[in-house]
Structure 1
């Protein structure tokens, strides 16, 4: 599936439509359509987020006219960019956000392959496993609403670790992606009051701590 700039409004809750339109009006047209949107539930509303966009980044001065919320929306969209360095720059601007509609952009990146991004997420959501914390409530609610999406993310983490990083992190439990999954799983368990299931292959669960 492909889409254009106008379709990117579907990546955010409908109440943000005016802010999203302001951001899209500032963004340059992409050289090619965005790719393969995925759907998730954000606080009871289904949104459709692109797997990748290819728009050029805006110059810094071009963002000065955007309101604070609009800049967060902009960073969310560019966290889906085809260039990993662009994704990381924009992720670092949103990873500590308290907006629930930011969560899917962060969690999607947990299931991708750039280890520097995984480290940035792990550090940015370090409070997520603290019972009752704002981060914990936000991400716990997101994972609980999107159990299948999170299970798919877990499997992707294992796949990328096995393919690209097993030599650097022989134990899956030391891999930044695994450590971040543990934080998110703890948040979901705290939010729901029950142990959150794992979706890692048999044997790998023994290489990291169980909740």
Structure 2
């Protein structure tokens, strides 16, 4: 899977205090998971670059700040083995934000089917990225989005309903990457895997709120609605 479309942010050197990284990564999860996050951080190799550009969303009544990118090397299997099931999900969530697209996809595939509400923003954010294989992996991992009343539909619908501005930015990013890199292959936005995924997300939130939801994507190949 090529990274030829990557636009990397400026590299920032980490101050000497490593707790800056720990604080940034702990803030990506609800406070009740803080001790589990610390256990995960203990097995992650140290890094000299700070996590980049966090985005804030609301998860179960709390605001979390999830980094757009992290730069830690992956821990070996022997270090991961003692982690609990919850801690392993946390680790996969963090590495789904890795600067290497192959690493992001590998860890996404371990969490995409999770029903935990705090996993949802990690998945939705990846839907707005440029790597087509990642978007296709999300679609494969969320078959329940197409099933009215399913648990997957409910958890994604609830998240989007509480994060309208975040979802609007997600839509605009998906449209931008389609227009820039994939329009030649998918002439209609509705045929693009990212467009299909956004429609499934929109159906999930409409089911939750019982009303139409604002649209920031093309209704057809020729215009926006």
Deviation at 1:207, TM superposition (A): 4.1
2:220 counterpart of 1:206: yes
Gaps of 5+ in 1: none
* 119, 136, 139: which one aligns with 2:136: 119
Please provide the CA RMSD for this pair. Answer: 1.5
Deviation of 1:129 (Å):
3.3
Gaps (5+ residues) in structure 2?
1-9, 13-19
2:103 to 83, 86, 102: 86
CA distance in 1, matches of 2:164, 2:74: 33
The counterpart of 2:78, out of the listed 57, 61, 66, is 61
Q: Are 1:5 and 2:29 matched, yes or no?
A: no
1:38 aligns with 2:50: no
* Structure 1 residue 53 displacement after superposition: 0.1
> Residue 28 of structure 1 aligns with which residue?
45
3-state SS of the aligned residue for 2:73?
coil
Moved more, 67-76 or 127-136: 127-136
1:188-203 mapped onto 2 (5 Å cutoff): 188-200=205-217
Q: Distance in 1 between matches of 2:162 and 2:47?
A: 32
Q: Distance in 2 between matches of 1:39 and 1:104?
A: 10
| Deviation beyond 3 Å, 4+ runs, structure 1 | none
More helix by share: 1
Q: CA deviation at 1:128?
A: 1.5
3-state SS, counterpart of residue 119 of structure 2? helix
Aligned length: 205
Q: Report whether the alignment pairs 1:70 with 2:87.
A: yes
Scaled by the length of structure 2, the TM-score of the pair is 0.88
Q: Distance in 1 between matches of 2:82 and 2:88?
A: 9
Distance 2:66 2:146 in 1: 26
